Amino acid sequence: MPLSTIVKLLQEAKHVVIFTGAGVSAESGIPTFRDALTGLWSRFDPAKLATAEAFREDPSLCWGWYESRRLKVLQAQPNAAHLAIAELAKHVPKLTVLTQNVDDLHERAGSRDVIHLHGSLHSPRCIDCGNAHMAPLSSDELPVDGCRLEPPRCEVCHGYIRPGVVWFGEMLPDEAWDAAFAASGACDLFFSIGTSGVVYPAAELPLRALGAGAKVIHVNPVRFEISSQEHFLHGPATVIQTLIHEAFG
């Protein structure tokens, strides 16, 4: 799809949805969940650290791993794609950001009311009663790679505080999913950026938009199969979104 066509679609759009995946955060230096673990963490399978059962079996191992991930996020900076997405919101009537990422880089770039489909590393809660934990560790208390760390205890029931992310086998947050599904069905232009559409149910969102009559554009450095009704922009999110922003702005 030519850049001029995308600009025309943006000029005509009443509601734009931006749906982002791990590829966007990866360009800020945050490893994707499927990347090989490094250092002392290399002997662990990340998938086996991302379940409630794993957390209950070894809370300090699981909490330490997620806090080391959070440290990487705190050290990272929003990239050009995050910034271009935030800037785009100033030039269209309505823009909704949906993300599978558990960091806060969209917010730090200036996006507002971001819908987090998979939760957030910055919103820990009790594994037993679900009470939100309002006092996360500061960056200078976080572990280095390979360190175990005892989780805090809940002030309500004294259960362990767990990461506020969606683990394997868990449902997406109802409020986030309902809002994302509604936005996808109400938009007229849908960008899917940095995600290959293999993680369900989030991967249903581009199909929801397409079925409701929206134009769907995928942005990814790795090509994957799409329907004849969708469009593909081949390249890194930082490059593609910057080009779109410069052409449209």
98-148 pLDDT tens trace: 999 999 999 999 999 999 999 999 999 999 999 998 765 555 555 555 578
Residue 220 belongs to a domain: yes
At 190, give phi and psi (nearest 5°). -125, 120
Residue 116 domain-assigned (yes or no): yes
Angle (nearest 5°) at CA 216 between 26 and 100: 35
* Domain-ending residue, one of 162, 183, 217: 162
Q: What is the dihedral of CA 21, 56, 131, 112, to 10 degrees?
A: -10
pLDDT of residue 49: 85
Give me the pLDDT at residue 226, please. Answer: 86
Same domain, 180 and 248: yes
What's the structural domain count of the chain?
2
Residue 108 lies in a domain: yes
Q: Residue 212: give the domain boundaries.
A: 1-30+78-120+172-249
Q: pLDDT tens digit string along 192-229? A: 999 987 778 888 999 999 999 999 999 999 888 888 89
Counting residues of the chain whose pLDDT is more than 90, the rounded percentage is 69
One domain, residues 242 and 189: yes
Over residues 6-22, the pLDDT tens digits come to 999 999 999 999 999 99
Q: Is 125 helix (H, G, I), strand (E, B) or coil?
A: strand
pTM over 0.85: yes
| Claim to verify: residue 86 and residue 197 sit in the same structural domain | yes
Residues 87 and 116 in one domain: yes
Residue 3 has pLDDT above 80, yes or no: yes
Does 197 share its domain with 114? Answer: yes
Report the pLDDT value the prediction gives residue 177, as an integer from 0 to 100.
97
Q: What was the pLDDT predicted at 140?
A: 57
Segment 47-59 shows an average pLDDT of: 90
Shared domain for 178 and 115, answered yes or no, is yes
* Residue range 36-62: mean pLDDT, rounded: 79
pLDDT-derived band at 89, boundaries 50, 70, 90: very high
Q: 196, 224 in Cβ contact below 8 A?
A: yes
Tell me the catalytic residues: 118
Same domain, 26 and 36: no
